[in-house]
Amino acid sequence: MSITARQVAADVLNRSRSRDGFAAELVDDAVNAANLSPQDRRFVTQLVFGVIRRGGTLDALLKPFIHLPTHAVQDRVWDLLRLGAFQLTFLTHVPKHAAVHETVELAEHVGAPKAKGFVNGVLRRIAELTTDEFTDAPGAAAVPFALVESAPTHLERAGGRGSYRRLTKPVLPDPVTDPAPYFAAAFSFPQWLANRWLKRYGADECVRLGFWFNAAPPLWVRVNKLRASRESYRIQLAAQTIEAEAGEHPQSLRFPQHHSIRDLPGYAEGDFAVQDHSSMLVASALGVQPGMRVLDACAAPGGKTTHLMELMDGRGHVTACDIDPKRLETVAALAQRMRLTGIETVLLKDNEEFPAGPFDAALVDVPCSNTGVIGRRPEVRWRLKPNEFEYLIRLQTRLLILAADRVKPGGAVVYSTCSIEPDENEGVVKAVLRGMRGLTLEAEHHSVPGRPSDGGYWARLRKAKA
């Protein structure tokens, strides 16, 4: 018998717990191996991403009905409880009886047939807990809800506030008397991150961020300006009845509906690259000109490397460095698909310095906490630990200093992250400006999550003329 979407999802959840890989890659591998229909592929993604993203909320809903310590429930059985609770709470297209029955049936697949009765009992209680009524008022008996299938549109309709699914009884902390535990449980964030953001942003902005980061992020592409204008590509899409909206960046297009990227016209010909709107701003901030020699210090998987070459009208040289050989291969593959030449990949050993140059300009798109893209990478919120910031900030500072050192007098350096943490952003830039003479801050920009897309930061520094 062929494997079902729910079985694949249960297997991916199991793998995502024990491996370092990203959920997106694990889902891709698993759906390809299982040869699922496009509809089932989407369902697997929805289940896996949803269960990981909403894991904190699902546990808060489940715990009142489980009279065993968490460690007494096998991991794979706990996955099933979350899978069932996710369908019952966040998916409107799955009937309740199917959500319970199909999830109980998975117990055999995960090697725990004896847990069937237990899973059935708990999920029936969750089915009773979740009503079909929605409200825009938060509370201990209302779960922040987003239509997973069409979250951005849904959020716009709700004025960015989102809506809440009513529960038959209060199971979440009270948002007024216990805002920090409420935000962590209702919006599914680790407590340390909830505390950190509440202190910085206040409750209203945290709620907006919570809705944004729990929705499926929109698909954006950057039209390869060396192959097509944005308008001509949009006409090509329209001819296939594919809707796309122009964004503020002149090469950007946003797709309101879900699409398989490889099926979009011009994929194989390199007419576009998948890239979030905020990321497009970064290479543009460097102000490169045709014929320049540019250092891309942390290049893989190559979204910004290829953009830099487009911005130089395909005439120039980009030295694309990274320490990860597998990811560096994707830079070369992307450059090839986009039909771009003049990109040289350089594999660095850990702690190795960048090639000598000198370069006309440098982009330093550092490894970071990824807190601006938590919606895109569902596991980030759970894997990130507060004690990692110290290491990251030290690495970011070092990479910025080393890259700036390779740039000619008068040249520009753009430092960027996909983090919304000030200590990884302006904090690093200020420290480097204090410590390195002849460098000034020329411009900086904070991308706010949801306005219009991923969160992030860039700063352009200028080296003094000799």
Q: How many residues bind ligand SAM (CB under 6 A)?
A: 18
Is 83 within 8 Å of 6 (Cβ atoms)? yes
Q: How far is the CB of 374 from ligand SAM (least distance, A)?
A: 14
Of 276, 365, 379, 421, the one binding ligand SAM by CB under 6 A: 365
Q: How far is the CB of 303 from ligand SAM (least distance, A)?
A: 3
Choice between 106 and 309, CB closer to ligand SAM: 309
Our finding on whether 217 is near ligand SAM (CB under 6 A) is: no
Choice between 237 and 363, CB closer to ligand SAM: 363
Sign, Cα dihedral of 444, 381, 202, 424: negative
Of 193, 299, 311, 361, the one binding ligand SAM by CB under 6 A: 299
Interacting residues with ligand SAM between 380 and 419 (CB under 6 A): 399
Of 301, 314, 342, 355, the one binding ligand SAM by CB under 6 A: 301
Q: From edge to edge, which strands make up the β-sheet containing 272-274?
A: 245-246, 252-255, 219-223, 272-274
Q: How far is the CB of 307 from ligand SAM (least distance, A)?
A: 8
In sequence order, which residues have a C-beta less than 8 Å from that of residue 326 and are 6 or more positions away? none
Our finding on whether 321 is near ligand SAM (CB under 6 A) is: yes
Choice between 11 and 322, CB closer to ligand SAM: 322
Interacting residues with ligand SAM between 224 and 283 (CB under 6 A): 279
Sign, Cα dihedral of 401, 402, 407, 408: positive
Choice between 253 and 403, CB closer to ligand SAM: 403
Of 8, 146, 300, 380, the one binding ligand SAM by CB under 6 A: 300
Binding-site residue set: 298-304, 322, 365
Binding-site residue set for S-adenosyl-L-methionine: 298-304, 322, 365
Q: Tokens 């291969």 sit at which residue?
A: 329
Positions marked catalytic: 418
The two three-digit tokens of residue 170, written as one number: 């209060």
Interacting residues with ligand SAM between 342 and 361 (CB under 6 A): 348
Choice between 40 and 322, CB closer to ligand SAM: 322
Tell me the Cα Rg of the chain: 23
* Stretch of residues binding ligand SAM (CB under 6 A), selected from 217-225, 297-305, 335-343, 452-460: 297-305
Which residues contact ligand SAM by CB under 6 A? 279, 297-304, 321-324, 327, 348, 365, 367, 399
